[in-house]
């Protein structure tokens, strides 16, 4: 995984929120002609933007060659996957893989109240878990808990690790929370089905589906 920090003049003037994304064009000889979307992986602070990339192919691997001072063109911010949509004082965040990036930023923006945040983080291996120390600290500061669901289906974890029964046991007050879901399309579909089965009001459910860059 690679985190990239972008600085610039008047960043504080950009009307951006945690959970949103930008389209990035890095102005190097190899990359200038490509534009790709990345979510912020930390809440905007007016000093820099942070994105975090899973290096799985030629483009994402090439980002490790960026040098300090490389110019970048931003298009954005885009998206409505933000805390502005919240209706309840508490939130449940459900992440799959690299889908943790906008959720990690959202947690940082949420108020530090007792039991205000619960995070369920699904990953195939512990090497796929990002920001573990940051997540533990951010959620603990909000009096919440992180559930890491790590392993292969049917072997290390249940064949349906995000089934209705598991969600109900892990988060008994689920219907009293906003639910933010971000991850691969299949995982998001599974979670939305579980939330419907548990009759969580649709207005409290907010989702973002991730496609993986190569």
pLDDT digit string (tens) for 126-147?
Answer: 999 999 999 999 999 999 999 9
Return d(Cα 128, Cα 97) in angstroms, integer: 6
CB atoms within 10 A of CB 182: 28
Return d(Cα 116, Cα 88) in angstroms, integer: 10
Domains observed in the chain: 2-78 (2.40.30.10), 83-210 (3.40.50.80)
Q: The pTM is what?
A: 0.92
Return d(Cα 213, Cα 197) in angstroms, integer: 32
Return d(Cα 116, Cα 144) in angstroms, integer: 6
- The number of residues in the chain equals 214
| CA distances (Å), origin 6, targets 73, 100, 182 | 10, 20, 23
Task: Enumerate residues 6+ apart whose C-beta is below 8 A from 92.
Answer: 118, 119, 120, 171, 174, 177, 178, 179, 180
Model pLDDT, residue 154: 62
| pLDDT per position as a tens digit, 77-113 | 999 999 998 999 999 999 999 999 999 999 999 988 8
Task: Enumerate residues 6+ apart whose C-beta is below 8 A from 108.
Answer: 18, 42, 43, 138
| pLDDT per position as a tens digit, 33-65 | 999 999 999 999 999 999 999 887 788 889 999
| CA distances (Å), origin 179, targets 58, 69, 93, 149 | 34, 38, 6, 17
């Amino acid at each position: 995984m690679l985190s990239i920090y972008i600085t610039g003049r008047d960043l504080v003037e950009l009307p951006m929120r945690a959970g949103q994304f930008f389209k990035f064009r890095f102005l190097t000889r190899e990359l200038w002609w490509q534009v790709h979307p990345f979510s912020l992986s930390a809440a905007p602070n007016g000093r820099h933007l942070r994105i975090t990339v899973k290096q799985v192919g030629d483009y994402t691997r090439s980002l490790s060659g960026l040098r300090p001072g490389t110019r970048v063109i931003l298009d954005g911010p885009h998206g409505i996957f933000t805390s502005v949509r919240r209706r309840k004082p508490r939130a449940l965040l459900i992440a799959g893989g690299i889908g943790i990036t906008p959720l990690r930023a959202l947690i940082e923006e949420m108020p530090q109240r007792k039991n205000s945040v619960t995070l369920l983080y699904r990953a195939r291996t512990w090497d796929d878990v990002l920001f573990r120390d940051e997540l533990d600290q951010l959620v603990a500061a909000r009096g919440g808990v992180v559930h890491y669901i790590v392993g292969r289906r049917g072997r290390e974890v249940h064949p349906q690790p995000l089934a209705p029964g598991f969600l109900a046991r892990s988060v008994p007050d689920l219907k009293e929370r906003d639910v933010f879901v971000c991850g691969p399309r299949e995982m998001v579909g599974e979670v939305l089905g579980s939330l419907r089965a548990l009759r969580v009001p649709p207005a409290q459910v907010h989702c973002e589906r991730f496609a993986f860059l190569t």
